[in-house]
């Protein structure tokens, strides 16, 4: 039985006394109730309800955004908002999590043809233009990939793509470094890929790129108040006239999309109840309880509850700048000190909206082995943590660790639990709390932190994709890893698991990573989307991100009502 720290005992007891799911899921849900009357953690609610749909473009939708800052410029690293997905089209669009090429929709690419296991020919439509009328050709695609890697933190380009060569004005050849399932599809569709016209980008000022970018997606930015709101309008005369060829992300079901920044979940609940916003996302149980009780969606609302496909993880600095690189026992002391369950609850979750992890990845990822969930994965044990601290040769209070977290990813309660856990095991802790933009800078600086909490996913849909973005040297411009080390054996095991993802190879990587104590997967959160019931279908992409422009609206839908 896992031990729980005393820090949250009273809070958690109160939370557990409130059952959010006490009956069968309603609202046309695909979820079912277990023997306790609660919805199982891996079930989903589809976000689809009956009604007469609007036949044309509706006027407006207002969406709550939890990202306090989102730079719409091409190649600006995303900080978790939905906005950039409206602006920049991808070569293809995946229709489900982990989908392979046969289950994808072409977008900028007219076709993608396999030459051999590592080589693919890409043909573009020859009539693509951006929102300013600039034509998009093969040179622009190559430029955009290069910039998305160098500036936009699209790491998989460096780790998984051998080359991208122009073979004609509108044709290219992509060669892969590995054949791990989903690698090609992720390279062609990743949200961090921004495709723009090279000539426009190089001639535009920084202000023009931010305030009026030339977009290949179905929307353009029309106004922005930093930290408050962003407004987008459908691009008139969008380049793809045959709407049957568009993926959901390319649709224009609504003319104006406004993102209203509301970072506090409680305020987001109030805004949705007061019709100040039409759509909101939550990942905390308290907010969900306002719209989903007794196993049913509250009157007047529609709800989508997705699988958990992202991980919240703790990474340890393995560079010479951190004392953690000097001792395996010291790293084990840190990981045994961390109580994943308490951290999960402190983030505002419960056992229904989230679950603890047993590896760097989630059960929803292809390749995750079921037996990992039944093993000791540095399960919280302060006594064992203290023993490893002593084995490392240190007395309690002798070591101070800098713990870095982002303001948009972790709240003060999470930071308090981590500090309490580590202090209980004998460590001193200094907090480094930064906003999203600075977090992206400090994450790559080994002098800034010893411990970092960050979220990861597998854009490929396969667990090796999650491992790759953390530990493939090609994913990092300095040729190391997210922990600033280059463990050649770990890289060798990763390459084997990617090239041949058998249970044997997957287990070899998992157990070696676990034994080296470089990181710990803490928990996964299921995203919750809630909206007015005048939105009949909540559209989401392959990574469960909402697609506001592809929502199905009722014929009597009106924003704010």
Q: Are 101 and 181 spatial neighbours (Cβ–Cβ below 8 Å)?
A: no
Q: Which domains does the chain have, with CATH numbers?
A: 75-218 (3.90.76.10), 310-525 (3.10.105.10)
Q: Where are the beta strands (DSSP E) in 6-136?
A: 45-46, 58-65, 92-94, 104-106, 109-116, 119-124
How does residue 80 score in pLDDT terms, banded at 50, 70 and 90? Answer: low
Ranges of H-type helices in 90-168: 138-150, 156-160
Q: What is the pLDDT of residue 265?
A: 84
Q: Which of 289-293, 357-361, 440-444 has the highest mean pLDDT?
A: 357-361
How does residue 16 score in pLDDT terms, banded at 50, 70 and 90? Answer: very low
Q: What is the CA radius of gyration of the chain?
A: 23
Q: Which residue has the higher pLDDT, 9 or 75?
A: 75
Q: Which residue has the higher pLDDT, 10 or 473?
A: 473
Residue 328 half-sphere exposure toward CB, CA atoms < 13 A? 6
d(CA 215, CA 195): 8
Per-residue pLDDT at 10 exceeds 80:
no
H or E stretch at 555: none
Q: What is the pLDDT of residue 79?
A: 59
Q: Which of 280, 272, 237 is nearest to 130 (CA)?
A: 237
Beta strands 400-406 and 428-434 are: parallel
How does residue 68 score in pLDDT terms, banded at 50, 70 and 90? Answer: low
d(CA 12, CA 485): 37
Residue 419 burial (CB count, 10 A): 18
Query: What does the block give as tokens for 305?
Result: 């509850």
Query: What does the block give as tokens for 264?
Result: 């506090």
Over residues 525-544, mean pLDDT: 90
Q: Which of 247, 147, 256 is nearest to 198 (CA)?
A: 147
Q: What is the pLDDT of residues 468-517, one digit of tens each?
A: 999 999 888 788 999 999 999 999 999 999 999 999 999 999 999 999 99
CA 192 to chain CA mean position, Å: 11
What is the 8-class DSSP label of residue 121? E
Bridge partner residues of 129 (DSSP): 135
d(CA 68, CA 87): 19
d(CA 540, CA 524): 18
Q: Which of 223, 231, 300, 261 is nearest to 64 (CA)?
A: 261
Per-residue pLDDT at 23 exceeds 70:
no
Q: Where are the beta strands (DSSP E) in 344-444?
A: 354-356, 400-406, 428-434
Q: What is the pLDDT of residues 304-322, one digit of tens each?
A: 887 788 899 999 999 999 9
Per-residue pLDDT at 5 exceeds 50:
no
Phi, psi of 252 (to 5 degrees): -135, 65
Q: What is the pLDDT of residue 528?
A: 84
How does residue 44 score in pLDDT terms, banded at 50, 70 and 90? Answer: low
Q: Which of 107, 193, 198, 88 is nearest to 145 (CA)?
A: 193
Query: What does the block give as tokens for 200?
Result: 């426009």
What angle do helix axes 488-499 and 463-471 make, rounded to 10 degrees? 150
Q: Which of 94, 134, 95, 126 is nearest to 110 (CA)?
A: 126
d(CA 106, CA 124): 9
Q: Are 350 and 285 spatial neighbours (Cβ–Cβ below 8 Å)?
A: yes
Q: What is the pLDDT of residues 262-315, one digit of tens each?
A: 988 889 999 999 999 999 988 677 888 889 877 688 999 999 887 788 899 999
Per-residue pLDDT at 29 exceeds 60:
no
> How would DSSP label each residue in 309-371?
-EEEEEEE--STTSGGGG-HHHHHHHHHH--HHHHHHHTT--TTTEEE-SSSS-TTSBT--GG
Residue 172 half-sphere exposure toward CB, CA atoms < 13 A? 24
Bridge partner residues of 400 (DSSP): 428
Q: What is the pLDDT of residues 128-185, one digit of tens each?
A: 999 999 999 999 999 999 999 998 778 889 889 999 999 999 999 999 998 888 999 9
Q: Are 32 and 39 spatial neighbours (Cβ–Cβ below 8 Å)?
A: yes
Q: CA dihedral in degrees (150, 155, 157, 161; nearest 10)? A: 130
What angle do helix axes 412-424 and 382-391 make, rounded to 10 degrees? 60
Residues in contact with 46: Cβ distance below 8 Å, sequence separation at least 6, in sequence order: 28, 29, 30, 304
Beta strands 229-234 and 171-176 are: unpaired
d(CA 70, CA 82): 9
Over residues 243-257, mean pLDDT: 97
Residues in contact with 303: Cβ distance below 8 Å, sequence separation at least 6, in sequence order: 27, 45, 47, 291, 292, 297, 528, 529, 530, 531, 538
H or E stretch at 54: none
What is the 8-class DSSP label of residue 205? -
């Amino acid at each position: 039985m896992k031990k729980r720290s005393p820090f949250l005992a009273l809070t958690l007891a109160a939370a557990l006394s409130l059952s959010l799911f006490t009956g069968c899921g309603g609202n046309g849900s695909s979820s079912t109730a277990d023997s306790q009357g609660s919805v199982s953690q891996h079930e989903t609610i589809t976000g689809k309800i009956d009604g007469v749909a609007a036949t044309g473009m509706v006027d407006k939708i207002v969406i709550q955004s939890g990202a306090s800052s989102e730079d719409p410029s091409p190649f600006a690293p995303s900080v978790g908002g939905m906005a950039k997905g409206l602006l920049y089209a991808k070569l293809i669009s995946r229709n489900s999590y982990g989908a392979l090429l046969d289950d994808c929709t072409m977008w900028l690419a007219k076709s993608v043809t396999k030459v051999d296991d590592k080589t693919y020919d890409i043909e573009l439509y020859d009539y693509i233009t951006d929102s300013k009328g600039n034509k998009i050709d093969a040179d622009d695609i190559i430029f955009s990939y290069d910039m998305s890697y160098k500036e936009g933190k699209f790491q998989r380009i460096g780790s998984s793509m051998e080359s991208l060569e122009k073979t004609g004005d509108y044709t290219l050849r992509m060669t892969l470094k590995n054949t791990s399932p989903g690698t090609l599809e992720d390279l062609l569709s990743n949200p961090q890929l921004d495709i723009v016209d090279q000539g426009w980008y190089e001639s535009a000022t920084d202000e023009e790129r931010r305030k009026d970018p030339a977009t290949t997606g179905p929307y353009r930015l029309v106004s922005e108040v930093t930290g408050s709101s962003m407004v987008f309008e459908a691009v008139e005369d969008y380049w793809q006239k045959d709407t049957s060829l568009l993926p959901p992300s390319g649709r224009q079901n609504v003319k104006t999309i406004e993102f209203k920044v509301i970072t506090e979940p409680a305020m987001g609940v109030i805004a949705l109840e007061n019709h100040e916003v039409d759509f909101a996302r939550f990942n905390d149980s308290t907010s969900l309880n306002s719209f989903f009780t007794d196993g049913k969606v509250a009157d007047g609302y529609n709800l989508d509850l997705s699988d958990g496909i992202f991980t919240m993880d703790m990474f340890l600095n393995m560079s010479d700048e951190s004392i953690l690189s000097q001792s395996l026992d010291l790293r084990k002391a840190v990981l045994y000190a961390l109580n994943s369950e308490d951290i999960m609850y402190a983030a505002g979750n419960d056992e229904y909206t989230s679950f603890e992890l047993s590896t760097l990845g989630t059960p929803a990822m292809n390749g995750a082995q079921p037996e990992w969930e039944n093993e000791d994965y540095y399960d919280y044990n302060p006594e064992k943590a203290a023993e490893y601290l002593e084995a490392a040769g240190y007395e309690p209070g002798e070591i101070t660790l800098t713990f870095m977290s982002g303001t948009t990813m972790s709240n003060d309660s999470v930071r308090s639990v981590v500090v309490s856990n580590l202090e209980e095991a004998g460590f001193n802790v200094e907090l480094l709390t930064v906003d999203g933009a600075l977090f992206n800078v400090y994450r790559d600086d080994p002098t800034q932190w010893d411990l970092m909490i960050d979220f990861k996913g597998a854009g490929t849909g396969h667990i090796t994709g999650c491992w790759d973005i953390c530990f493939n040297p090609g994913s990092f411009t300095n040729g190391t890893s997210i922990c600033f080390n280059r463990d050649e054996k770990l890289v060798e095991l990763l390459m084997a698991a990617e090239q041949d993802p058998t249970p044997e190879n997957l287990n070899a990587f998992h157990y070696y990573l676990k034994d080296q104590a470089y990181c710990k997967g803490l928990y996964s959160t299921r995203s919750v989307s809630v909206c007015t019931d005048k939105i009949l279908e909540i559209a989401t992409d392959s990574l469960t991100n909402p697609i506001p422009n592809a929502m199905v609206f009722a014929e009597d839908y009106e924003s704010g009502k």
